[in-house]
Amino acid sequence: MSEAQRKEVVRIAMEWERTPYVHQGRIKGKCADCTFFAKVFEEAGLIKPVDIPPYGPQAHLNRQAAAYLPLVLQHAAREIDVAEALPGDVVMYLLGRTWSHGAVIIEPGWPSIIHADIGARYVIRARGDAGPFSAAPRRFFSFW
C-alpha cells in the first residue's frame, strides 16, 4: 500500500509544478511557498488539514519562530536516514536559524525534489543538494 501512496504523493506534488511562489500560499496553480507539501499529503488522504499559523517572510532568521519543523514532526511518521529516503518522503533544510524549508523527494535515490523556490519564483523540480542547498544541513522524514 505504501508504494501506491508514495506514487500518489509524487503525482500530486508534481501537479504543483510552475505554481507561482507566494509567501504563505497553498493553492495549487495559484500560489505556494514551501509549506505546500502539507496540502499534497492532505490531498493524498494521508493527513488531516494542517493549520499553519501565520509567519513572517524572514521567520527563518529567528530561532523563536521555529514552528515549521514541529508541524512536520507532528504529521510525519518518523525521521529517517538519507539512505532510507524514497519518493514521497520529505526533506527539511536548515536555512538561516531554523529548519525552515521543506521539499518532497520525487525520484528514487535522493536528491531529486520538488519545492517552492523563492529565487525561481515558482514550484520547481531541482536537485536537493545543489545551489542554496549544497551546504545546508538537512533532515529526512517519512509518513510510512
Q: What are the CA-CA distances from residue 62 to residues 55, 59, 66, 74, 81 (Å)? A: 11, 5, 7, 21, 27
CATH code for the domain in which residue 39 is found: 3.90.1720.10
Q: Please state the length of the chain.
A: 144
| The pLDDT value given to residue 75 | 73
Q: What is the pTM of this model?
A: 0.90
Per-residue pLDDT reduced to its tens digit, 38-93: 999 999 999 999 888 887 776 655 555 556 667 777 777 799 999 999 999 999 99
Q: Are 142 and 80 in contact (CB under 8 A)?
A: yes
CA 76 to chain centre: 11
Range of the domain at 44: 2-142
CB 85 within 8 A of CB 105: yes
Give 88-116 pLDDT, tens digit per residue. 999 999 888 888 899 999 999 889 999 99
- What sections of the chain are H helices per DSSP? 2-15, 36-43, 68-75
Q: Give pLDDT, residue 102.
A: 92
Are the C-beta atoms of residues 100 and 138 closer than 8 Å to each other? no
Per the structure, the count of domains in the chain is: 1
**Are the C-beta atoms of 28 and 14 separated by less than 8 Å?**
no
Q: What's the one-letter identity of residue 44?
A: A
pLDDT of res. 42: 94
